[in-house]
Structure 1
Amino acid sequence: MALPDSRTETYQEIGRAGRDGSPARVMLLWRAEDVGLQQKNQRRAARRMG
């Protein structure tokens, strides 16, 4: 499990929960370390791209 990379990805994940038409609940669990790791990965990807 990991934090989604973007808000768009977060919305996609939430949408999948209720795709079958049944009621659904979504819970986002994260730690501060997850955010730091995500930021590090985004910086690394940005350096590769340009």
Structure 2
Amino acid sequence: MPTVSNFELNCYLGTWYEIACLPMKHQPEDSIDISAVDSLHENGTIRAA
């Protein structure tokens, strides 16, 4: 599979907010304000939390 040559990773780092989802067994039914924070480590790896 070809990769994107001009991919700008920094554009995708930061806080992401869930605006819609399908029910997931591992999440409580009353989950609200779901977000994830993606950051870049000094060694070039990505942390998704």
State if a TM-score over 0.5 links the two structures.
no
| Larger RCO (CA under 8 A, 6+ residues apart) | 1
More strand by share: 2
TM-score (structure 2 length as normaliser) = 0.28
TM-score (structure 1 length as normaliser) = 0.28
